[in-house]
Amino acid sequence: MLRRPLGDTGLEVSPLGLGTVKFGRNTGVDYPHAYELPSDSLIADLLTQARSCGINLLDTAPAYGTSEARIGEAIEGHRDEWVICTKAGEEFDGTKSHHDFSEDHILGSVEVSLARLRTHTLDILLLHSDGRPVDEIEYLGAFRALSRLKREGIVRAVGFSGKSPADAEAALPRSDVLMCTINATYRDEVGLARKAANQGVGILVKKPLDRGFVGESKTIAETAGLAGVTSVVVGTLSPAHLAANAAAVLRPTDLSTAV
C-alpha cells in the first residue's frame, strides 16, 4: 500500500488506518450491533493482516478502554513498523467517559499512554474534544501541554479531533493534524479537509462508515480519494473485512492524486 505524507509532519501513513476502539471498549459506544472484546490472538491476527495489507497507522485513545495497553503488548518489539495516533482529554472509567483539558491532566495522560503503549514517544497526539468551544480548551491549558510535549520531543505531531466543522476550523492554526468526520451522509468537513491540507496540516478521517450505519468498502475508497484526505481510519474485528477495505482503497485510481 502506498504511503502519503501526513501534512508537513514528516510522517508517512497508509491511506487506510486501523481504528482500535473495539480492541478495548464495548460499553457506552454508538455502534449498531453489540460486540465482545477480541481475544489477544484475534488482535494479533488483525495486526498481522494490517501489516500484510501495507497498513501502518493505528488509531487509539485512553477513552478506548484497554485498547492502548493491548496494542502496546501486541506490537512490542515491532514499534518502528507503526505510526501510532493516540489522544488526550477524554478518559473512560469503565462505564462512561469524562473530559479534562487542563495542562496537568494532558501531561499526565500522555505519561500513562506511553506506559500502556510501551514506547518512549508518540507519533501523533490529538486532543479528544467533547465539543466545548476550542477557546475554552485552550484556556484550560491543553494546547500549551501539546506545545510542551512536542518541544520536548515526546510527541512528533499534535492536533485535534473535534465534533464539528467550527471546532476543526478553530483548532486549525494550532494543529499539525486534524481528525475530521466525513462519510456518505455527512460532508460538512470536506472543504475544511482541503483547506487544512493546503496549509500543510494532515487530515485523518473518522467515522467514514458512520460507525457502521452506512456504506461499505466503496465509501471508504471514495473518502480516501478526496482532495486533502491523508488517511481514513476504520475499525473492525474481522481480518477479512480489513483486507476487503484495503483492497478497495487500492482500486484502481491513484488515490494520492484523486480529487
Query: pLDDT tens digit string along 64-110?
Result: 999 999 999 999 999 999 999 999 999 999 888 999 999 999 999 99
Residue ranges in the chain assigned as alpha helix (H) = 21-24, 40-53, 67-75, 103-117, 134-140, 142-151, 165-171, 190-198, 217-224, 239-250
Output the pLDDT for position 212.
Answer: 57
CATH numeric code, 4-250: 3.20.20.100
Looking from the CA of 43 toward its CB, the CA atoms found within 13 Å total 22
The label of the residue with cell 460532508 reads 187
Output the pLDDT for position 253.
Answer: 45
For the chain, give every domain's residue range: 4-250
Output the pLDDT for position 211.
Answer: 57
State pLDDT tens for residues 215-234: 567 789 999 999 999 999 99
**Secondary element (H or E) of residue 126:** strand 122-128
Distance CA 116, CA 126 (A): 17
Among candidate residues 229, 146, 138, the one with its CA nearest the CA of residue 181: 229
What is this structure's pTM? Answer: 0.93
Residue ranges in 141-238 assigned as alpha helix (H) = 142-151, 165-171, 190-198, 217-224
Quickly state the pLDDT bin for 184 (edges 50, 70, 90): confident
Q: Is 84 helix (H, G, I), strand (E, B) or coil?
A: strand
With 80 as the cut, is the pLDDT of residue 251 above it?
A: no
Output the pLDDT for position 258.
Answer: 38
Output the pLDDT for position 31.
Answer: 85
Distance CA 185, CA 196 (A): 21
Among 100-109, 113-122, 207-216, the range scoring the smallest mean pLDDT is 207-216
